């Protein structure tokens, strides 16, 4: 049995899975089920103790690319597979989000928005894409799509990952030792990293200060990548130009948080790449069939790497 524990649009998800996996019995919370018959669960962040009764569980499929909440659970047995979405329509959305931010800073639209408030008619010298250094942190399926698209539009794109990667037209570096030089050679930094022990707090004050004066930052991966206090300090003293943030250490961002009103921040409510139901259900269905055939599914998480 496949069991869905989904807070929103549960009926839509249920219909998508029943269409994609007609050979499987599928139920959704809050329908009562026999926990011993459940082999697969689709969820995001169920309540504490949720998994304890599913003693024959084989795999949990996350409703997104991030799996940090699942890895932190104490009710999920270590032999249960965790499978994340590796694209399922999210890459195209992330490309659009990153491109919007890159264009906003490259073409000075952030400055023109400020000038509009003052009624100031002042033109800035143009900067072409080929003269704009964009660095992408994270070169998985989604980060690679972002980097490749920007490179195809003429930007000078570099990419950073934990392990070696090769992408046509992109300077790829890897490992913590290579990060400092990459940051120092960046006009616009795009974060598309997951939350892992290696990435949490990766952009601390010391590393943020390595960015050239006037650099900008876009983060749409996970909110714990950045030391926000250090970022605000560098924005306030004029070292950094601005930032576009879609993710935060605690979400939703509190309505009284000062970040909302910071003049150099553009904040969006975790919308850079939303989960699309039909392609996501199709990807998970393929993963279930692979597991049933004794194969490994795409997006299988290596727990020791936290991704």
How far apart, in whole angstroms, are the C-alpha atoms of residue 198 and residue 178? 14
Residue 262 annotated as catalytic = no
How far apart, in whole angstroms, are the C-alpha atoms of residue 54 and residue 305? 25
Closest CA to 217 of 196, 188, 192: 188
The two three-digit tokens of residue 160, written as one number:
């950073």
How far apart, in whole angstroms, are the C-alpha atoms of residue 246 and residue 270? 5
pLDDT at position 307 is 79
The runs of H, that is alpha helices, within the chain are: 10-20, 68-71, 90-106, 109-118, 141-152, 179-184, 205-208, 228-236, 277-292
102 pLDDT more than 80: yes
pLDDT at position 306 is 80
Residue range 247-271, pLDDT digits in tens: 999 999 999 999 999 999 999 999 9
pLDDT at position 69 is 87
pLDDT at position 150 is 98
Residue 222 annotated as catalytic = yes
Confidence class for position 305, pLDDT limits 50, 70, 90: confident
Q: Which of 270, 289, 290, 303 is catalytic?
A: 270
Confidence class for position 89, pLDDT limits 50, 70, 90: confident
Would you say 231 and 217 are in contact if contact means Cβ atoms under 8 Å apart?
A: yes
Residue range 39-78, pLDDT digits in tens: 999 999 899 999 999 999 999 999 987 888 899 999 999 9
Q: Which of 73, 104, 222, 241 is catalytic?
A: 222
212 pLDDT more than 90: yes
Model-wide pTM > 0.75? yes
How far apart, in whole angstroms, are the C-alpha atoms of residue 253 and residue 267? 10
How far apart, in whole angstroms, are the C-alpha atoms of residue 25 and residue 2? 6
Closest CA to 194 of 101, 280, 273: 273
Confidence class for position 7, pLDDT limits 50, 70, 90: confident
Span 185-205, mean pLDDT?
A: 96
Closest CA to 81 of 288, 290, 300, 292: 300
What are the residues whose beta carbons fall under 8 Å from the beta carbon of 138, sequence distance 6 or more?
Answer: 160, 161, 191, 192, 193, 194, 221
99 pLDDT more than 90: yes
Would you say 216 and 189 are in contact if contact means Cβ atoms under 8 Å apart?
A: yes
Span 97-102, mean pLDDT?
A: 98
Residue range 8-43, pLDDT digits in tens: 899 999 999 999 999 999 999 989 999 999 999 999
142 pLDDT more than 80: yes
* Phi/psi-derived region of residue 201, left when phi > 0, alpha when psi is between -120 and 50, beta in every other case: left
Would you say 94 and 71 are in contact if contact means Cβ atoms under 8 Å apart?
A: no
pLDDT at position 45 is 87
Q: Over the chain, what is the mean pLDDT? A: 95
What are the residues whose beta carbons fall under 8 Å from the beta carbon of 191, sequence distance 6 or more?
Answer: 137, 138, 203, 217, 218, 219, 220, 221, 225, 226
Domains observed in the chain = 2-86+275-292 (3.40.50.720), 90-267 (3.40.50.720)
Span 271-277, mean pLDDT?
A: 93
The full length of the chain comes to: 307
Over pLDDT 90: what percentage of the chain?
91
What are the residues whose beta carbons fall under 8 Å from the beta carbon of 150, sequence distance 6 or more?
Answer: 98, 99, 102, 134, 136, 157
Span 136-144, mean pLDDT?
A: 95
């Amino acid at each position: 049995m496949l069991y869905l524990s989904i807070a929103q649009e549960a009926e839509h998800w249920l219909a998508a899975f029943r269409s994609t996996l007609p050979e499987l019995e599928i139920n959704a919370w809050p329908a009562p089920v026999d926990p011993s018959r459940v082999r697969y669960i689709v969820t995001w962040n169920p309540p504490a103790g949720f998994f304890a009764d599913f003693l024959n569980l084989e795999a949990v499929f996350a409703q997104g690319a991030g799996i940090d909440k699942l890895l932190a659970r104490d009710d999920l047995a270590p032999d249960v597979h965790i499978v994340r979405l590796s694209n399922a329509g999210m890459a195209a959305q992330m490309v659009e989000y990153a491109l919007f931010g890159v264009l906003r800073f490259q073409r000075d639209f952030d400055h023109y928005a400020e000038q509009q408030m003052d009624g100031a008619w002042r033109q800035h010298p143009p900067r072409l894409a080929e003269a704009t250094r964009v660095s992408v942190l994270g070169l998985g399926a989604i980060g690679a799509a972002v980097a490749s698209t920007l490179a195809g539009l003429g930007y000078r794109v570099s990419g950073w990952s934990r392990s070696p990667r090769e992408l046509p037209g992109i300077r790829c570096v890897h490992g913590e030792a290579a990060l400092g030089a990459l940051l120092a050679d960046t006009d616009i930094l795009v974060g598309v990293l997951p939350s892992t022990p290696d990435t949490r707090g990766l952009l601390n004050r010391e590393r943020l200060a390595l960015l050239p004066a006037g650099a900008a930052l876009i983060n749409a991966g996970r909110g714990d990548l950045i030391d926000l206090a250090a970022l605000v300090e560098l924005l306030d003293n004029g070292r950094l130009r601005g930032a576009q943030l879609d993710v935060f250490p605690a979400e939703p961002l509190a309505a009284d948080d000062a970040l909302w009103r910071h003049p150099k921040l553009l904040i969006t409510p975790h919308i850079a790449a939303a989960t699309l139901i039909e392609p996501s259900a199709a990807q998970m269905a393929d993963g279930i069939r692979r597991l049933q055939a004794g194969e490994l599914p795409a997006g299988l998480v290596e727990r020791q790497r936290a991704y």
